[in-house]
């Protein structure tokens, strides 16, 4: 299978290396120091005591690669609109597009029949650029649960987890979602197709919407947040708000805050992606993860008082640091 991963950071590099090792024709679209490093020395993945090196094609010009069977977008959410415009040459009539992006995806309300059907998430897709650039019928939704970090350009450390969930935006199981899940399963991932991928998105949001912005504000790892009784209580309250919003949208993940926190506790001392971005002086995904949630809450009539407060504070901190996109 011809596969291009757009974005060779922590998650993109992880996916690219594993698919390359499974025998697929993998290329990456990258830029700057990451592009130079991959061209010079390859893409390196550390997992436990193992080191995998992938000598693959890397470019900053997607048109050089031609039409692909599978295109994975693994850039940060704020970068996606610009990247989509550049990557159109990769996508043909039979190409499957998998966005491996944090937060609420731009397509979330585009193929649904609920009360908010057709809602454009301006916080994620300003002006509808992504919606116009990526055909909805090409998309397979994806929820990425592994934790990875980029040690340096082109060098990735896999911290924990291998679970990937794929599903049709319109819902239901499909042969192509199951086929994509099998591609990743055969590459060593705990990959599954799910009949309700939105439910899985909400499951991940349950943790991301509290641990990410709170860690940005206090500078702590997830174990430190959980072990502090006051922050722990705040995270529980935020999760309860996110669950209530999900219920208003017809989503009821079979998990409660205590169970979700227990999952995070097992991971140990983890730096969230927002904390890594702040420390690396990179733009943060505050709008995709919290801004979009607040916008949906406005439409659904959900108060979300604690989530709105944390959003306002985290957004202001990112703005002061010059790391708020837009």
pLDDT at position 29 is 98
**Domain spanning 2-195: which superfamily?**
NAD(P)-binding Rossmann-like Domain (3.40.50.720)
Nearest CA to 281 out of 315, 230, 222, 321 is that of 321
- Secondary structure in 3-state letters for 138-196: HECEEEECCEEEEEECCEEEEEECCEEEEECCCCCCCHHHHHHHHHHHHCCCEEEECCC
What does the angle CA 280 – CA 283 – CA 286 come to, to the nearest 5 degrees?
Answer: 120
Tell me whether residue 126 is exposed, middle or buried, using C-beta atoms within 10 angstroms of its C-beta: 0 to 12, 13 to 18, 19 or more: middle
pLDDT at position 254 is 82
The verdict on whether 299 is a catalytic residue reads no
Sheet holding 147-152, edge to edge: 50-54, 43-47, 155-160, 147-152
Considering 204, 271, 282, 299, which one is annotated as catalytic?
204
**Structure letter (DSSP) for residue 310:** H
Domain 199-321 has CATH 3.40.50.300: no
pLDDT of the chain, 326 residues: tens digit per residue: 999 999 999 999 999 999 999 999 999 999 999 999 999 999 999 999 999 999 999 999 999 999 999 999 999 999 999 999 999 999 999 999 999 999 999 999 988 877 788 899 999 999 999 999 998 899 999 999 999 999 999 999 999 999 999 999 989 999 999 999 999 999 999 999 999 999 999 999 999 999 999 999 999 999 999 999 999 999 999 999 999 999 999 998 889 999 999 999 998 898 999 999 999 999 999 999 999 999 999 999 999 999 999 999 999 999 999 999 87
Give the separation between CA 45 and CA 55, rounded to whole angstroms: 12
Give the separation between CA 285 and CA 305, rounded to whole angstroms: 20
Domain ranges of the chain: 2-195, 199-321
Largest CA distance in the chain: 53
pLDDT at position 253 is 82
Residues 302, 241 contacting (CB under 8 angstroms): yes
Q: 57 pairs with which residues across the strands?
A: 27
Nearest CA to 182 out of 75, 300, 265, 70 is that of 70
SS3 label, residue 108? coil
**Structure letter (DSSP) for residue 89:** G
pTM, to two decimals: 0.95
Residues 28, 56 contacting (CB under 8 angstroms): yes
pLDDT at position 169 is 93
Nearest CA to 27 out of 11, 45, 41, 12 is that of 12
Question: Per the structure block, which two tokens stand in for 170?
Answer: 């319109």
DSSP H helices, the chain, are 10-21, 32-41, 80-86, 129-133, 175-186, 197-218, 222-227, 229-248, 257-266, 273-279, 286, 292-300, 305-320
Give the separation between CA 238 and CA 258, rounded to whole angstroms: 12
Question: Per the structure block, which two tokens stand in for 46?
Answer: 């550390």
């Amino acid at each position: 299978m011809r596969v291009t991963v757009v974005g060779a950071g922590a998650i993109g590099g992880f996916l690219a290396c594993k698919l390359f090792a499974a025998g697929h024709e993998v290329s990456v679209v990258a830029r700057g120091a990451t592009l130079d490093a991959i061209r010079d020395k390859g893409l390196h993945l550390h997992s436990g005591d193992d080191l995998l090196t992938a000598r693959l094609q890397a470019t900053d010009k997607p048109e050089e690669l031609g039409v692909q069977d599978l295109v994975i977008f693994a850039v940060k959410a704020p970068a996606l609109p610009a990247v989509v415009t550049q990557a159109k040459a990769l996508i043909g009539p039979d190409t499957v597009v998998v966005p491996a992006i944090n937060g609420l995806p731009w397509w979330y309300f585009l193929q649904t029949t609920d009360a908010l059907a057709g809602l454009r998430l301006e916080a994620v897709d300003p002006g509808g650029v992504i919606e116009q650039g990526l055909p909805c019928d090409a998309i397979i939704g994806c929820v990425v649960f592994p934790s990875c970090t980029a040690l340096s350009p082109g060098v990735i450390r896999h911290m924990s987890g291998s679970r990937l969930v794929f599903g049709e935006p319109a819902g239901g199981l499909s042969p192509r979602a199951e086929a994509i899940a099998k591609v990743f399963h055969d590459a060593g991932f705990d990959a599954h197709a799910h009949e309700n991928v939105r439910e899985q998105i909400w499951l991940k949001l349950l943790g991301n919407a509290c641990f990410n912005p709170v860690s940005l504000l206090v500078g702590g790892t997830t174990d430190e947040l959980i072990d502090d009784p006051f922050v722990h209580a705040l995270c529980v309250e935020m999760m309860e708000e996110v669950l209530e919003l999900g219920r208003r949208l017809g989503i009821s993940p079979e998990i409660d805050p205590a169970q979700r926190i227990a999952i995070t506790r097992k991971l140990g001392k983890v730096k969230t992606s927002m904390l890594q971005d702040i420390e690396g002086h990179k733009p943060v995904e505050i709008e995709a993860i919290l801004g979009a949630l607040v916008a949906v809450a406005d439409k659904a009539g959900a108060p979300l008082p604690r989530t709105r407060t944390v959003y306002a504070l985290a957004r202001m901190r990112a703005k002061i640091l010059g790391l708020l996109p837009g």
